Structures are given as structure tokens and as C-alpha cells.
Amino acid sequence: MRVQLSGANYLSLAEVQVFGTASTPAPIPVFGTGVDGAGNLLADGTADGHYSLVASADAGFPGPSALVINSTAFPIPPWVADGPKSKWIGPQRDQSSGNAPGNYTYRTQFSLAGFDPTTAILTGQFAADDGATMRLNGAQVAVTGSGFSAFTPFTISSGFVAGTNTLDFVVLNGGSSPNPTGLRVDSRARRTAGTSTTPAATTSSSRPMPPARRSWTMR
């Protein structure tokens, strides 16, 4: 069993190809924010096709579209600069005046169909204004990020399920009046071991090889 990564060694789309007993690879993409299906940066104002705004504190911008924020105006900077492999998203493209205070939930999904979910690892980093909490399949993971001028790293090694997995970033926009809010998730692909639910390869003594952990890296 081996794993092969497609594309360059630094991508917003982390596509892992796993080879079990069959020779056909099964790609599983995990996307950063503000990119298309090929990992290219989206234009400002474009709806992110991989992240949706499923809860909004601003009645004027209820979602579900999460839009790529204007990259040439305040608050970028002081927010972490866009690119080269991801961009900020928010309830609206113009964050110079911002959105209402409260919680905004951004959701992305990926599938582990055909793989043992107990072997999965997901790592990466994110930034948010003002801060964010991560939830995997409805359960909060031990990651809370605060700040928009630097990234917060995360590692998730449990809580995955077979089939579709849901990753939520609950962003808190503080204050008592409208102000800038947004989310940034940066990703990178790397070579790693993987496993599927098909039988593991055996040695000459017919002892099963131990399963390798399957991982996706979002940085």
C-alpha cells in the first residue's frame, strides 16, 4: 500500500491518492479558502465553492455564499496578506465597514468513503477576525484560534466517520457594532502513508502489515 500526491509540493488543494489492493487511485481533496477546484486563487467577490456560510449574525448577509474578500483594501493589511495559495472569505466582499457582531459558521466537507476513519489525521492552520473554534462532525475539537495577523495551527486525529465528514469554523466577530470579520484557511500537500478498507498487503509469512495513518495537511 502506498500514497501518491498529485500536483506541486505546495498547494491549496491537498489531494491524496491511496492505492490499496486495487491499482486505481482514489483522490480525496481538502481545500483551503478562496481557491477553485484546481487550487487556483479565486477573484475577489467570487463565491467560494468549497466553503459555505451556514450561520450568520448579520440578517443582511445570511449566506449561504461565502465571498472572497477584497484583497487590495482595508482590512488587508493588518490581516495576513492573501496568497499565494489561499484567500480570506467572509459574508460580503467589502469588509472595510464589516458585518454585525456575533458568530459566523463556515462549513466545508470531505469524504472518507472506502477508508478506515480511525486512521485519519488532518493538520493545518487558520486565521480569523476576531477568533474561531473548530468543530468536526458537530463536536468541538481542541483548537481555538484568536487573531488575524498570524495563523493558528491544528491537528485532528480522532472524530472522523466513514463517508462524508463536516468541518466547521465558528468565527466570532466581537464588538458592539459592525466591524471586519473573515476566515482564512491555508493548505499544503505532502507525501504521507495511507490506508483503505480493502485487505492489507501481507508479508511472506502471511502476517498482516499494520495499517498506516492516512493524513491530509492544510497549512
pLDDT at 28: 62
Q: Which residue has the higher pLDDT, 143 or 68?
A: 68
Mean pLDDT of 16-41: 65
Is it the case that residue 93 has pLDDT exceeding 90? Answer: yes
**Which residue's entry shows cell 473548530?**
134
Tell me the pairing of strands 120-136 and 214-217: parallel
pTM score above 0.75: yes
Confidence band of 219 (pLDDT split at 50, 70, 90): very low
| pLDDT-above-90 percentage for the chain | 56
pLDDT at 60: 97
* CB atoms closer than 10 angstroms to residue 48: 24
| CA distances for 200 relative to 69, 188, 205, angstroms | 45, 28, 14
Express each pLDDT in 162-212 by its tens digit. Answer: 999 999 999 999 999 999 999 999 864 333 344 455 433 322 333 444 455
Mean pLDDT rounded to a whole number for the chain: 78
pLDDT at 11: 32
What secondary structure does DSSP assign to 42-61, as a single string? PPTTPEEEEEEEEE-S-TT-
**In the 3-class helix/strand/coil scheme, how is 93-150 assigned residue by residue?**
CCCCCCECCEEEEEEEEEECCCCCHHHEEEEEEEEEEEEEEEEECCEEEEEEEEEEEE
Listed by start position, the domains of the chain span 2-217
pLDDT at 113: 86
Q: Are 82 and 186 in contact (CB under 8 A)?
A: no
Angle CA(208)–CA(213)–CA(217) in degrees, nearest 5?
Answer: 155
Q: Are 217 and 154 in contact (CB under 8 A)?
A: no
Express each pLDDT in 104-145 by its tens digit. Answer: 999 999 988 888 888 888 888 899 999 999 999 999 997 788
Residue 173 and residue 158: Cα distance in Å, rounded? 28
Residue 148: left if φ>0, alpha if ψ -120 to 50, beta else—which one?
alpha
Q: Among candidates 11, 12, 90, 13, which has minimal Cα distance to 44?
A: 90
Q: Among candidates 24, 7, 206, 218, which has minimal Cα distance to 114?
A: 24
Q: Among candidates 213, 208, 141, 204, which has minimal Cα distance to 170?
A: 141
| Beta carbons within 8 Å of 149's beta carbon, 6+ residues apart | 78, 79, 80, 127
